[in-house]
């Protein structure tokens, strides 16, 4: 079982245009779809679509439109009631997969609601193989909320491996805290921000540099890093080595949720006992398959064929072991 937490879920509306977006003009919409989303929710959706057991934990009242949409979709969820309404996001996709996202900030959660959410995560994670903490935090939550959650989970005896997919202050707080994280999944820009890299745009074409930067996280408690590089592929850095997998050529339709599907593919492979390089291949296959689908659709296992993904080892980029 893989448990995901989405503290700031959203009802995602994806609008597809048949031409490039022109600011200030009236344009026709080619297609529009509304789906429940948020990083953790998307990871659970992708895992379930691939035949894996997963449950998504999130805040939300039973009558919230997002919670109702999840119930209609039949996704396994555990919700914690809150006073506020969950947010709605809009993604505008152009031909070729260029995506513009308009994200609301999210609801306020008081101290009691935060504590209830942590209790729900700890309870669901008692027998989990992975606990995934994914997405941004609402403005009302402190940047170290994920740090608090990991510490409380460990104190309660949760032994699940912990994967984190967030950015900015919440990711920095985890790296700076005295907690061990089994996996982080930044993209190239997020890794650059975290490590102080001056030229994030150059990382997409330099897997060796990505691996070098990711290896710097090991002494700070990060056991491994899966760094997604969009259409260029992804890098996996562990204390046993580093690998690069270029993305297969596809006709991109929407990049919404592609990174979440990449993480799902990696988790899926690791739970099946795959070696690190093959887990990376599955991550890249899942991400590419998701980008080839409309809106925030997630791929099935058949659509994410890892056998077509080539993985190469990056020499000299081994992260020191974490003790």
Taking only the tens place, the pLDDT of each residue in 166-198 is 999 999 999 999 899 999 999 999 999 999 998
Question: Residues near 52 by Cβ (< 8 Å), separated by ≥ 6?
Answer: 2, 267, 268, 271
Q: Can you tell me the distance from the alpha carbon of 57 to that of 44, in angstroms, rounded to the nearest whole number?
A: 10
**9 close to 68: Cβ distance less than 8 angstroms:** no
Asked if the model's pLDDT at residue 58 lies above 50, the reply is yes
First-last CA distance in the chain:
26
Task: Decide which of 78 and 33 is more confident.
Answer: 78
Total-model pTM: 0.90
Percent of the chain with pLDDT over 70: 98
Structure tokens given for 159: 């032994």
DSSP structure class, residue 222: B
**39 close to 133: Cβ distance less than 8 angstroms:** no
Distance of CA 260 to the CA centre of its chain: 4
Phi, psi of 59 (to 5 degrees): -80, 155
How does DSSP assign 160-205, residue by residue? -EEEEE--HHHHHHHHHSS--BSEE--BHHHHHHHHT-S-GGGGGG
pLDDT confidence of residue 33: 84
**Could you report the per-residue pLDDT of 195-224, keeping only the tens digit for each?**
999 888 888 889 999 999 999 999 889 999
Residue 322: strand, helix, or coil: coil
pLDDT confidence of residue 97: 79
Give mean pLDDT, residues 289-302: 88
Asked if the model's pLDDT at residue 113 lies above 60, the reply is yes
**Could you report the per-residue pLDDT of 224-261, keeping only the tens digit for each?**
999 999 889 999 999 899 999 999 988 888 787 899 99
Q: What angle do CA 176, 181, 183 make, to 5 degrees?
A: 120
Q: Which residues pair with 184 in a beta bridge?
A: 164, 225
Distance of CA 201 to the CA centre of its chain: 21
pLDDT confidence of residue 323: 43
Give mean pLDDT, residues 70-80: 94
**247 close to 204: Cβ distance less than 8 angstroms:** no
Task: Give the residue from 70, 46, 44 showing the smallest Cα distance to 285.
Answer: 46
pLDDT confidence of residue 85: 92
pLDDT confidence of residue 180: 93
CATH number attached to the domain at 2-313: 3.40.1190.20
Cα–Cα separations (whole angstroms), residue 143 to 185, 189, 282: 18, 19, 31
pLDDT confidence of residue 297: 85
DSSP structure class, residue 87: E
Q: How confident is the model at residue 119 (pLDDT cuts 50, 70, 90)?
A: very high
The helix or strand, by DSSP H or E, that contains position 71, with its residue range, turns out to be helix 65-73
């Amino acid at each position: 079982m893989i448990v995901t937490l989405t503290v700031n879920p959203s009802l995602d509306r994806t609008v597809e245009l048949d031409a490039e977006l022109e600011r200030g003009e009236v344009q026709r919409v080619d297609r529009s779809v509304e789906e429940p989303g948020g990083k953790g929710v998307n990871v659970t959706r992708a895992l379930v679509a691939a035949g894996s057991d997963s449950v998504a934990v999130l805040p939300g009242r039973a009558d919230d439109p997002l919670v109702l949409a999840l119930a209609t979709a039949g996704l396994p969820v555990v919700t914690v009631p809150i006073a506020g309404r969950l947010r709605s996001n809009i993604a505008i996709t152009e031909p070729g997969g260029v995506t513009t996202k308009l994200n609301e900030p999210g609801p306020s959660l008081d101290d009691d609601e935060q504590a209830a959410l942590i209790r729900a995560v700890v309870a669901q994670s008692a027998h989990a193989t992975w606990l995934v903490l994914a997405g941004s935090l609402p403005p009302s939550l402190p940047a170290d909320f994920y740090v608090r959650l990991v510490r409380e989970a460990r104190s309660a005896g949760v032994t699940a491996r912990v994967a984190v997919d967030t950015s900015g202050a919440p990711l920095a707080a985890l790296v700076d805290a005295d907690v061990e994280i089994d996996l982080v999944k930044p993209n190239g820009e997020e890794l650059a921000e975290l490590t102080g890299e001056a030229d994030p745009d150059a990382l997409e074409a330099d897997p060796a540099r990505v691996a070098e930067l990711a290896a710097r996280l090991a002494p700070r408690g990060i056991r491994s890093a899966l760094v997604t590089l969009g259409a260029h592929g992804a890098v996996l850095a562990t204390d046993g080595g580093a690998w690069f997998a270029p993305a297969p050529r596809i006709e991109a339709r929407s990049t919404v949720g592609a990174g979440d599907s990449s993480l799902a593919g990696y988790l899926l492979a690791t739970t099946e006992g795959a070696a690190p390089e093959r887990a990376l291949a599955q991550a890249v296959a899942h991400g590419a398959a998701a980008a080839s689908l409309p809106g925030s659709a997630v791929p099935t296992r058949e659509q994410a064929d890892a056998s077509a993904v080539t993985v190469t080892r990056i020499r000299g980029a081994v992260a020191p072991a974490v003790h």
